[in-house]
Amino acid sequence: MRVSMISAALVAALVGYGSTIALVLAAAAAVGADSGQTASWVAAVCFSKAIGAALLSTWKKIPVLLAWSTPGAALIAASTGVDIHQAVGAFIFAGLLIALTAAIRPLNRAVNAIPTGVASGMLAGVLLPFTMAVALHAANEAALVLPLIAVFVVVRLINPLMAVLAALMAGLAMAFTYGGAPPPSTDVDWTLLTFVRPEFNPAVLLGLGVPLYLVTMASQNLPGFAVLRAHGYEPPVTEALGVTGILSSFFALFGAPTINMAAITAAICLGDDVHPDKSQRWKVGLAYAAVWSMLGLFGPVIVPAILAMPPEIIAVVAGLALIPPLIGALVSAFDVPATRFAAAATFAVTASGVAAFGIGAAFWGLLAGLLVHLLDHMKLR
């Protein structure tokens, strides 16, 4: 295997891990996961991605790279009144829906019939509170937060992909120097996976499971397939949805949320600089899988170090990581004039955080947007 493949896979994995691990940990905290369950959550999703990338790349002989759902993690982190057992039930449900989308054509058509503006409005509404929190923390903890923002802005001018990772490294350095965080413990629990009993609560399945499925499909899988097409590969849509859906459902039993096609990090591994022979680039998927396996194995060391940081630093790094997805979601939501009002309704209801009958705001935002879109369509007819 060429050195360029290993280096590209290493960079892609570290960018994907470092830029969003704070958000993943915030999602675990939001559903009440304890330290063991949180470590298992991270390890399981790493192993899930490694197995899926290696399997699909070897099977289809094209570079298929997988990721955890950043918008999905934001959706989980925004949920209220959901415990870890109910969340795991929703993860299993979302994974099964992804797998069924590959097998059942009517379900595939129903998902594709949701207007892009409405789906993007829901995503933007989920992401907005996290990005707004950056300003709030900057006002309340200026000495701790403003340096992180400065690092993010400066590094972004040089290399946008490394900006969040640089902010995370700066946050770790500040936390363990004068931020009050205790030094990392040498007593490490190397238990990697912990079984989490699922609970299938209908309200949580609707309020978290369905939006998680839709966000993963619309904001992760579809762009991931588009990146493969842009680099001259025909994406294995059916196989990828089937594999990621089944793996998501299985590893959810150990706390992992859904996995999906990678987009931005995948682009790092698909260029001519990785391998001049396009037919040989599939091997980068094996290197990528090996790196994610190592990240999963060393999770018991990495995760406690990050969790030891002040919560303000974790929240700020997560908020900075979500700025690019928020921009993309807002642009997509209001791009088509015909669906702008429906997208605005979806965005407003979702961002409000309203919950009714135990069902979260993402579901109600999606429902509001679809109703407005239906009324607009009936008016045109």
By the 10 Å C-beta count (0-12 exposed, 13-18 middle, 19+ buried), 298 is classed as middle
Q: What is the pLDDT of residue 12?
A: 82
Residue-wise pLDDT tens for the chain (381 aa)?
778 788 788 878 877 887 788 889 889 999 999 988 999 999 999 999 999 999 999 999 999 999 988 888 888 988 888 999 999 999 999 999 999 988 887 776 776 677 888 888 887 887 888 889 899 988 988 888 899 999 999 998 988 877 878 888 888 888 777 655 566 555 666 668 999 999 999 999 998 999 899 888 877 887 788 778 877 888 888 899 999 999 999 999 999 999 999 876 787 788 777 888 888 889 999 999 999 999 999 888 888 777 777 878 878 887 887 788 788 888 888 988 888 999 999 999 988 888 776 666 777 888 898 899 889 878 766
CB 99 within 8 A of CB 327: no
CA-nearest of 6, 103, 9, 5 to 49 is 9
- Two tokens, residue 191: 């238990």
CB 315 within 8 A of CB 141: no
- Two tokens, residue 31: 């559903």
State how far the Cα of 269 lies from the Cα of 77, in Å rounded to an integer: 29
3-state secondary structure of 246: helix
State how far the Cα of 362 lies from the Cα of 125, in Å rounded to an integer: 8
Q: What is the pLDDT of residue 191?
A: 67
From residue 206, alpha-carbon distances to 309, 363, 366 in Å are 33, 7, 11
State how far the Cα of 97 lies from the Cα of 104, in Å rounded to an integer: 10
**Could you tell me the residue range of the domain that residue 286 belongs to?**
3-380
Backbone angles phi, psi at 67, to 5 degrees: -145, 165
Q: What is the pLDDT of residue 190?
A: 64
Q: What is the pLDDT of residue 94?
A: 95
CB neighbour list of residue 275: distance below 8 Å, 6 or more residues apart: 2, 4, 5, 281, 283, 284
Bridge partners for 66 per DSSP? 261
Backbone angles phi, psi at 235, to 5 degrees: -65, 135
* Count: domains in the chain: 1
By the 10 Å C-beta count (0-12 exposed, 13-18 middle, 19+ buried), 374 is classed as exposed
Cα torsion at 236, 240, 242, 245 (round to 10°)?
-160
Q: CB-hemisphere CA count at 13 Å for 129?
A: 21
Which residue is associated with the tokens 């704070």?
22
CA-nearest of 124, 72, 152, 70 to 316 is 152
Q: What is the pLDDT of residue 293?
A: 94
List, in sequence order, every beta strand (DSSP E) within the chain. Answer: 66-68, 259-261
